[in-house]
């Protein structure tokens, strides 16, 4: 992919972040994922703020964090369930890893994000970072299958000004969009 242009798009509006109520850092902190890396940022190079485009994707992220664990999301005490923060993203140019044409231009398989190695996503993020792009809009891996993805996430690099938090600490029962089992 060296030398090829990165597909671009713009994002604007309210985005969300699901976070653990026991985090000691604020929900806009990127230092922790800068150390170990995440799906869209390689370790030690830069941090990224990971946001979801909708409440439905935030809910999918909350459930996804418990896949394969002995305790599922609804087994956790209500006060220990994920909180939600909202961010207001101003018009921002990012790499397009959402649209069919963007995925194809990035030479990702049509099934992306399903079964795509972390290293492939980190390589794209590293190229975007080095090109001075603010981040990557990508298909969410939460609850993705080979044939469909649930929605979109936005990874914003800490080399750019990060969006302001507009609301923080919203309790799970107040933001989770689906019925909560008793």
Dihedral sign, CA of 135, 141, 145, 149?
negative
Residues 6 or more apart whose CB falls under 8 angstroms from that of 51 comprise: 15, 16, 17, 87, 89, 153, 154, 155, 156
Quote the strand ranges of 23-134, DSSP E. Answer: 48-52, 83-97
The answer to whether position 60 is within a domain reads: yes
pLDDT tens for the chain, 182 residues long, are: 334 689 999 999 999 999 999 998 999 999 999 999 998 899 999 999 999 999 999 999 999 989 889 999 999 999 999 999 999 999 999 999 999 999 999 999 999 999 999 999 999 999 999 999 999 999 999 999 999 999 999 999 999 999 999 999 999 999 999 888 87
**The pLDDT value given to residue 40:** 86
Query: pTM, whole model, 2 decimals?
Result: 0.93
Query: What 3-state class would DSSP assign to 182?
Result: coil
**The pLDDT value given to residue 39:** 87
Residue tagged 């509006």 (tokens): 13
What domain count does the chain have? 1
Of 41, 7, 51, 49, residue with least CA distance to 125: 41
The answer to whether position 28 is within a domain reads: yes
The answer to whether position 119 is within a domain reads: yes
Q: Within a 10 A sphere around the Cβ of 24, how many other Cβ atoms?
A: 6
Beta bridge partners of 16: 52, 86
**The pLDDT value given to residue 4:** 65
Interatomic CA distance for residues 97 and 136, integer angstroms = 7
The answer to whether position 182 is within a domain reads: no
The answer to whether position 3 is within a domain reads: no
Residue 128: domain span: 8-175
């Amino acid at each position: 992919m060296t030398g090829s242009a990165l597909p671009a798009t713009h994002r604007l509006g309210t985005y969300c972040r699901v976070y653990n109520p026991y985090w000691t850092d604020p929900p806009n902190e990127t230092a922790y994922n800068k150390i170990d890396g995440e799906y869209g940022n390689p370790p030690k190079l830069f941090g990224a703020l990971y946001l979801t485009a909708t409440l439905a994707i935030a809910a999918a992220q909350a459930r996804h964090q418990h896949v394969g664990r002995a305790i599922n999301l609804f087994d956790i005490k209500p006060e220990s369930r994920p909180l939600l923060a909202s961010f207001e993203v101003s018009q921002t140019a990012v790499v397009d890893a959402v649209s069919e044409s963007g995925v194809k231009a990035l030479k990702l398989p049509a099934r992306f994000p399903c079964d795509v190695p972390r290293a492939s996503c980190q390589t794209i993020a590293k190229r975007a970072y080095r090109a001075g792009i603010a981040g990557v809009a990508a298909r969410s891996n939460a609850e993705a299958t080979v044939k469909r993805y649930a929605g979109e996430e936005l990874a914003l690099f800490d080399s750019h000004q990060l969006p302001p938090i507009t609301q923080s600490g919203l309790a799970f029962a107040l933001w989770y969009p689906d019925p909560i089992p008793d």
